Amino acid sequence: MAIRLGAWRPLVTRWGPLLVLALALIFPLGADSYWLTVGIGILTFAMLGLGLNLVVGYAGLLDLGYAAFYAIGAYTTALLSTVGHMTFWETLPFAVACSAIAGVIVGYPTLRLRSDYLAIVTLGFGEIVRITATNLGFTGGPNGIYAIPSPSIMGYQFFSQDSQYYLAVAFLLVVLFFTRQLAHSRLGRAWLSLREDESASEAVGVPSVRVKLWAYVFGAIFGGLAGAFFAARLTAISPDSFTYTQSINILMVVVLGGMASFPGVILGAAVVVGLPEVLRFMQLWRLFVFAIGLIALMLLRPQGIWPAASRKENPFGPGSERKLGPPLPLEALGRSRDSDGEEAALDVSGLRRRFGGVLAVDDVAFTVRPGEICSIIGPNGAGKTTVFNCITGVTRPDGGEVRLHGRALHGQTPHQVVGAGLSRTFQGIRLFKSMAVYENVLVGMYPHQKANVVDSLLHTGRQRREERDSLLRCQALLRFCGLEELAGHRASELSYGDQRRLEIARALAAQPKVLLLDEPAAGMNPSEKQALMGLVRRIRDLGVTVVLIDHDMNLVMGVSDHVVVLDRGRKIADGTPQEILADERVVAAYLGRDEDDEEVNAWPS
Contacts with other proteins, 304-343, as mask; x by CB under 8 A: x---------------------------------------
Question: Is residue 203 involved in binding other proteins (CB under 8 A)?
Answer: yes
Among 292, 330, 582, 591, binds other proteins (CB under 8 A): 292
Q: Would you list the DSSP string of 13-68?
A: HHHHHHHHHHHHHHHHHH--HHHHHHHHHHHHHHHHHHHHHIIIIIS----S-THH
Nearer to other proteins, 255 or 504 (CB): 255
Backbone angles phi, psi at 474, to 5 degrees: -60, -45
Residues 117-136 that bind other proteins (CB under 8 A): 117, 119-121, 123-125, 127-128, 131-132, 134-135
Task: Say which residues have a Cβ less than 8 Å from residue 578's Cβ, sequence separation at least 6.
Answer: none
> What are the backbone dihedrals phi and psi of residue 400, each rounded to the nearest 5 degrees, phi first?
110, 170
Region of 372 on the Ramachandran plot (φ > 0 left; ψ -120 to 50 alpha; else beta)? beta
Pairing relationship of beta strands 152-153 and 407-408 according to DSSP bridges = unpaired
Distance of alpha carbon 491 from alpha carbon 200, whole angstroms = 14
Task: Report the distance separating Cα 359 and Cα 424, nearest Å.
Answer: 24
| Residue 86 CB burial class (10 angstroms; 0-12, 13-18, ≥19) | middle
Tell me if 519 contacts other proteins by CB under 8 A.
no
Residue 82 engages other proteins in binding (rule: CB under 8 A) = no
Which residues between 429 and 458 bind other proteins (CB under 8 A)?
A: 430
Q: Interaction with other proteins in 271-290: which residues (CB under 8 A)?
A: 284-285, 287-288, 290
Site pattern 172..201 for other proteins (x: CB under 8 A): ---------------------------x--
Three-state DSSP class for residue 482:
coil
Q: Applying CB under 8 A, which of residues 62, 358, 429, 542 lies at the interface with other proteins?
A: 62
Give the Cα separation of 102 and 407 in Å (integer): 38
Cα pseudo-dihedral 236, 238, 242, 244, rounded to 10: -150
Taking the complex as a whole, how short is the minimal distance between the CB of residue 136 and other proteins, in angstroms? 10
Q: Does 56 bind other proteins (CB under 8 A)?
A: yes
Q: Work out how close the CB of 124 gets to other proteins at its nearest, in angstroms, rounded to a whole number.
A: 3
**How many positions of this chain bind other proteins (CB under 8 A)?**
53
Cβ at position 572, least distance to other proteins in Å: 24
- The Cα–Cα gap between 565 and 549 comes to 10
Minimal distance, residue 52 CB to other proteins, in Å? 12
Give the nearer residue to other proteins in terms of CB position, either 24 or 256.
256
Query: Using CA atoms, how far apart are residues 279 and 258, in angstroms rounded to an integer?
Result: 23
Nearer to other proteins, 89 or 117 (CB): 117
Q: Strands 399-404 and 373-377, how do they pair? A: unpaired
**What residues between 380 and 419 interact with other proteins by CB under 8 A?**
385, 388-389, 394
Q: Which is nearer to other proteins, 124 or 419 (CB)?
A: 124
The residues binding other proteins (CB under 8 A) are 56, 62, 109-110, 112-114, 116-117, 119-121, 123-125, 127-128, 131-132, 134-135, 199, 203, 244, 248, 251-252, 255-256, 259, 284-285, 287-288, 290-292, 294-295, 298-299, 302-304, 385, 388-389, 394, 426-428, 430, 518
